[in-house]
Structure 1
Amino acid sequence: MKILVRNLERSITEAELLALFEPFGQIDSCVIVLDQGTGKSKGFGFVEMTNPREAIKAVKALNTLKVKGIGIRVKVAE
């Protein structure tokens, strides 16, 4: 199940994003979307989890969590 993570602080790395989701289950992929011109984070990314039940738990637990002082927004990607 693909999860959209928005409102990320621009310095967050894919490893840090992965570490947020790992406690909830197996991760298939973790990507922070980068600006092609600058190579810097656009402030959002995607995490794909194998088990939909674990993904829903992660979404509920992490939505509005403050990461580096900013409340992230987490939802199932459409």
Structure 2
Amino acid sequence: MNILVRNLERSITEAELAELFKPFGKVESAVVVMDKETGKSKGFGFVEMPNGREAIKAIKGLNTLKVKGMGIRVKAADDKPNA
């Protein structure tokens, strides 16, 4: 399941993002979206967890959690149709 994580503090790394989700299960990938021009975080990212039950537990457990002073927002990412 692909999970959208919003309202990330701009200094969060992909490794830190993955660590947040590991207590809930296997993390296949964690990506912090970066601005192409500045190379800085845009304040959101995606985490891929292969097990749907674990992903749902992670969403419920982490949504609104304060991370580096920011209350993150976590939800299932909408699948975008292939263009």
By the TM > 0.5 criterion, same fold? yes
User: How far is the alpha carbon of 1:28 from its aligned partner?
Assistant: 1.0
Greater than 2 Å deviation, 4+ residue runs: none
Correspondence for 1:72: 72
Q: Give a deviation string over 1:30-67, Cα, whole Å, max 9, x none.
A: 10000000110000000000100000000000000000
RMSD in angstroms over aligned alpha carbons? Answer: 0.4
Correspondence for 2:33: 33
The TM-score normalised by the length of structure 2 is 0.93
Correspondence for 1:13: 13
Q: Distance in 2 between matches of 1:74 and 1:9?
A: 14
* Residue identity opposite 1:51 in structure 2: N
* Runs of at least 5 residues in structure 2 that lack an aligned partner in the other structure: 79-83
Q: SS at the partner of 2:19?
A: helix
* Residue identity opposite 1:47 in structure 2: V
* Residue identity opposite 1:27 in structure 2: V
Q: SS at the partner of 1:53?
A: helix
The TM-score normalised by the length of structure 1 is 0.98
Q: Which structure has more strand as a fraction of its residues?
A: 1
Q: Distance in 1 between matches of 2:28 and 2:70?
A: 25
* Runs of at least 5 residues in structure 1 that lack an aligned partner in the other structure: none
